[in-house]
Amino acid sequence: MANEWNVGQKASGLAEETEYAVIVGVVLRGQSEEQVTEYLDELEFLAETAGAKTVKRFIQKLDHPDNRTFVGSGKAHEIAAYVKDHEDVSMVIFDDDLSGKQVNILEEEMKVKIIDRSTLILDIFARRAQTAQAKTQVELAQMQYLLPRLRGLWTHLERQRGGIGMRGPGETEIETDRRIVRDKISKLKKDLDKIDKQAETRRKGRDAMVRVALVGYTNVGKSTLMNLLTKSDVFAEDKLFATLDTTVRKLAYEGVPFLLTDTVGFIRKLPHHLIESFRSTLDEVKESDILLHVVDVAHPQYDDQIRTVQGLLKEMDCQNKPTLLVFNKIDLFRERNYDMYLDEDGREEVESDLKQGLEAEFGQEAMLVSAHTKENVNELRARLTEMVRVEYQQTYPYIAKQW
């Protein structure tokens, strides 16, 4: 299509070099400023993962988003003035989704790239995708996200509004683009269906084995824990969405064989199209027998992250699977929260109370571990082996009898 590359570039994608960004959040009715500040902390980490350094953040209280600029016109002018005075700023990132029209108006006023949270996440996914499956999933999500925003991204249509006599080549051009994007979506869905069928065939070949899936918020240490449990070399990095591709390893603890799967991390406000596109990856979670829900206990909002993951698991109808809460990074928790004068007995009491409180709040057994220092990992292996044994007895009793 004539403007396919330009439209796609405008809808998503950050430069390869480090860029400087301003981030924007809105406190809507029913939200607290503290909550939005937490969201912006995460947005800043997302920006960093994508290669952008945040230099300023703006927060505004609104009853509802403005149809034209999302924030109020006064706040939009304030942001534009800041950007104008700081020439190194090349983008403004909003913590909520924007329409194509809003992006267009804001770019016209601020003279820099305007990116929303979903576009940022899609950009990170596009960078991280390695396999054909992940690349297809990301491209499908990008096209689905772009389609309803095409009209707003076509600035020249502003001059071609009206009725009879105003249906010019621009209207034809955007319809052509829509058709091309729809055709692309259709092709990507077919490609993904083929990949899904291949993945389903592979999963069927593993039917006689108990399957354990690592799930959790992004950047909680799932891949590091996977490496420790399997003695393998899954890519792990202190960035959001360090790995997108599902990794499956066969293990045997105390002669009990099972499959362990590392899955893509969850996040708040995850774009719906991304969940939809990654359904084959999430099928690994749906078809698993046991869930190891990994949590970063050192994160100040770990309880909110737990609820986010539990909400997504409920959407996938996986909330009733046998689940072990694994609170990782206990070493970092101590470093950030313990007084240097707290003795060993005091530490044990604090951690015992923490564990009991978590189990009471979330209704699941909890373990405190550190994948970094390997603390309590042997206890985790033993508990996991016990859960796998029980699952074999319930699901594959004829195999359990062979031991």
C-beta of residue 246 within 8 angstroms of C-beta of residue 263? yes
Long-range contacts of 281-284 (CB under 8 A, 24+ apart): 281/133, 281/134, 281/137, 281/244, 281/245, 281/246, 282/316, 283/196, 283/199, 283/200, 283/203, 284/203, 284/211, 284/213, 284/246, 284/248
Spatial CB neighbours of 34, under 8 Å, sequence gap ≥ 6: none
**Which residues sit in the known binding site?**
216-223, 241-245, 262-265, 328-331, 370-372
Annotated binding site for Mg(2+): 223, 243
Instruction: Report the C-alpha gap between 95 and 43 in whole angstroms.
Output: 7
Q: Residue positions in the annotated binding site for GTP? A: 216-223, 241-245, 262-265, 328-331, 370-372
C-alpha 73/C-alpha 90 separation (Å) is 20
C-alpha span between 286 and 279 (Å, rounded): 10
